[in-house]
Amino acid sequence: MTVLLFSSFTRTHFNKCYEGKSSKDILKRVAANALMSLLAVSRRAQKHALKANLIDNCMEQMKHINAQLNLDSLRPGKAEDGVIKELSIAMQLLRNCLYQNEECKEAALEAHLVPVLHSLWPWILMDDSLMQISLQLLCVYTANFPNGCSSLCWSSCGQHPVQATHRGAVSNSLMLCILKLASQMPLENTTVQQMVFMLLSNLALSHDCKGVIQKSNFLQNFLSLALPKGGNKHLSNLTILWLKLLLNISSGEDGQQMILRLDGCLDLLTEMSKYKHKSSPLLPLLIFHNVCFSPANKPKILANEKVITVLAACLESENQNAQRIGAAALWALIYNYQKAKTALKSPSVKRRVDEAYSLAKKTFPNSEANPLNAYYLKCLENLVQLLNSS
């Protein structure tokens, strides 16, 4: 019943209540809020909105607002707040319409969402609220949508307001704008900081976006992160955001190469693995785990004794997830790589492997009932066999 009402509402009354009305119109605000709520909870509502050309209409409205803001920038005084409010509503409608809906995302791609946002970027930079909403929209748009991620790397040209010059030149792709924002983010603006890294974590799964990240030298900023001092044993929230980004980058072999090219990155990750964070305690270990699987990476990993020590120590950890990560990483490192066999046969590593395997067999006699325990035993069993072979 709700969706039927929505369908009728979208196709007949929404235009009357919303389009062409002043931003101060109460009925317009009520209509927009009602539509946002419906789009957030109903997939059928999104479908009807798509058929009613809501995405195209929002895009046209955003283009009109951009032209209006550019025109206002040539006149004395500040841009009208009502125009900014209309832009905010349009982006929120788009955000909810695109949420987990690939068909709507394709429509937004065809309607040139990213070039429009790029043209609006100088104005978005001036308003924290607009920035949060635009980053939310981009997070929704890029989630599990490779074509959308790639679209951020495209060059898009457009006119920018005269007043934007004091903020510096606008980058020739929205991807570079995002990287610049993440690099210059004030630490006190934690909400925007978190959202921009969430967006980058989405983009890091895209081959095209990883290429832009590599060419921009953005990852060098990771090396400048400060470790906790004194009695503080917890990593900062910014460090955790960086580690989550690096974890997504490390999911592909091209990203792993980017990480290993950073001088001192492995040593820094090793140091970070000693500290705690209640929500994400194993991120450095997971990054090590991923890079161990590529044959091209194995010599560099093996040459770093600190990494090997950390992975071997995982087998004695009280955290079962850390045990599994360490065992899987060591097995991946030694698999089909004779030099790793020789290096890992050191007494300290071999002793830990043997003891962990002996304890696991006693602790998990019926490992088949739990796939994670079964996999852990399989990792240890293969490690023992490989280390005992000639």
125 or 4, which is more confident?
125
The CA–CA distances, whole Å, from 199 to 139, 181, 239, 292 equal: 5, 12, 16, 26
CA distance 51 to 339: 60
Q: What are phi and psi of 42, to 5 degrees?
A: -130, 120
Average pLDDT over every residue of 193-221: 96
Is residue 3 over pLDDT 70?
A: no
Domains and CATH numbers, the chain: 1-10+26-153+173-190 (no CATH), 254-388 (1.25.10.10)
- 340-356 pLDDT per residue, tens: 888 888 999 999 999 99
- 344-388 pLDDT per residue, tens: 889 999 999 999 999 999 988 877 778 999 999 999 999 999 998
- Position 244 confidence tier, pLDDT thresholds 50, 70, 90: very high
Q: What are phi and psi of 276, to 5 degrees?
A: -115, 155
CA distance 92 to 83: 14
Is residue 2 over pLDDT 90?
A: no
- Position 76 confidence tier, pLDDT thresholds 50, 70, 90: low
Residue of 92, 1, 2 lying closest to 54 (CA atoms): 92
Residue of 345, 346, 347, 309 lying closest to 329 (CA atoms): 309
CA distance 97 to 137: 10
Q: What is the pLDDT of residue 21?
A: 55
- Position 36 confidence tier, pLDDT thresholds 50, 70, 90: very high
Average pLDDT over every residue of 293-312: 94
